[in-house]
Structure 1
Amino acid sequence: MTIKRQRGLALSALLLWGIAIGLVAILVIRVLPDVIEYSKIRHAVKAVASESSGKTVAEIRHAFGQYAEVEHIKTLGPADLDVFKEENQVVVAFAYERRIPLAGNVSLLIEFSGSSSARDSGQ
């Protein structure tokens, strides 16, 4: 007589896995829009910096403002950009923080920063 053992997942384990997956999904849903906007900002900054030869700081900021308007970037304005020269290249840099409320008085603080510098291209 062979005894067959049951295989499977207990109800309590299923509930724990469901809760864990749900919490991770909520975190991703809350953070993803800010990460997408950061990507748009980095793309706009790199595009503005690549077209910046011979332009003044005001013209560079105005060009970023146009990109921001097209891409619907609301977090960062043209005045928030740092524009400077590094090794005869124009570098456009930015940094900002986003506080994402999670539950009650618990929130997640993310510090975003980037620049058009060649050494920052791997970020």
Structure 2
Amino acid sequence: MMKNQRGVALSGLMFWSVVLILIAVLGMKVTPTFIEYQKILKDIKATAAKAGPDSTVADIRKSFDKFAEVDTLDFKASQLDITKENGKVVISFEYEKRIPLFLNVSLLIDYKGSTAG
């Protein structure tokens, strides 16, 4: 009588190891850009909350630059779109982040954010 063997074949183990390593590497490359996006979002919300009704665009940009300096962001206030809607300051932004993966393959992520809601 033959017993059924249970377990993982070496080829299956190697395949899934490669898949898990690729996912881990992708995660390590994408995570810093997502953290930067979250910091920018937090900073524009803090800037909008701090802006008074008589704040100028230059004042708002200067205020954001101070928050960005504390969070050590490469993102500049000149990349912000600042408007007023119903008497409230609305700050929004949009940018692309290209993450090189290997050889000539890159991952392109479009980040967008706004204080409008």
Tell me the TM-score range normalised by the shorter chain: over 0.9
In structure 1, what is the equivalent of residue 102 of structure 2?
103
Equivalent residue number for residue 62 of structure 1:
62
Other-structure match for 2:72: 72
Mapped to 1, the partners of 2:46 and 2:7 lie a distance apart of: 54
Q: Structure 2 unaligned segments of length 5 or more: list them.
A: none
SS at match of 1:72: coil
Matching of residues 32-47 of structure 1 within 5 Å: 32-47=31-46
Per-residue deviation, 1:55: 1.1
Structure 1 partner of 2:80: 81
The alignment covers a number of residue pairs equal to 116
Please show how residues 3-42 of structure 1 align to structure 2 within 5 Å. Answer: 3-42=2-41
Shift, 1:115, TM fit? 0.8
SS in 2 for 1:97: strand
**What TM-score do the two structures reach when normalised by structure 2?**
0.95
Identical counterparts, % of pairs: 45
The TM-score with structure 1 as length reference comes to 0.90
User: d(CA) in 2 for partners of 1:89 and 1:4?
Assistant: 74
| RMSD over aligned Cα atoms | 1.0
Q: Deviations over 1:62-97 (max 9, x none)?
A: 0000000000001x1011111101122110111111
Cα distance between partner residues in 1 of 2:33 and 2:14: 30
Letter matched to residue 72 of structure 1: T
Structure 1 runs not aligned, ≥5 long = 119-123
Instruction: Name 1:121's counterpart in structure 2.
Output: none
